[in-house]
Amino acid sequence: MKLQTRKATLVILGLFTSQAMAFSTLPAQAQSYSATVTKAQPSKTKQFFQKHDTVRKATIGAGVGTAAGAVTGLVAGKGMVRGAAIGAGTGAAVGVINGNKTLAKHPIMRDMATGTAAATGITMAATRGHGGAKTTMKGAALGAALGLGVGLFRDKLK
């Protein structure tokens, strides 16, 4: 973090009583006090992420998706790097969905879109070969249903 330093000096004139000033011409005595105020400035990266909330959420989603995709690809035997790449894209998409201001006003649609994107990514990372589109669509439909169910359970059944 950058530190912004400001110095402030306070000067106090110490005047003797008015009687002493009347009888002699003593010079005024000054006392000075100095203090330093330090204010920490956040870095440019932190300022950028504070201003751009959707980018921050997409970045975090990409990181989480990378880990989840790598584990899915490893468990499914389809390749850890392949799964991590698919998971990163899926996580970024989920982050953008969750950071969208329009979808924030419509939580049911947001939950369905989040579930659809997450399940599509997991399905794509776990499958390869014949019938990939059909399997991916099944996974997306299952994700939408799960997203809707979780969203309704969380929001409506409190």
Predicted confidence pLDDT, tens digits, the chain (158 residues): 555 656 555 545 444 444 445 555 656 566 777 777 777 888 888 889 889 888 999 999 999 999 999 999 899 888 899 999 999 999 999 999 999 999 989 988 999 999 999 999 988 888 876 667 888 899 999 999 999 998 888 877 76
pTM: 0.67
Residue 135 CB-density burial (10 A; 0-12 exposed, 13-18 middle, 19+ buried): middle
Residue with tokens 């975090």: 60
Helical (H) or strand (E) element with 42: none
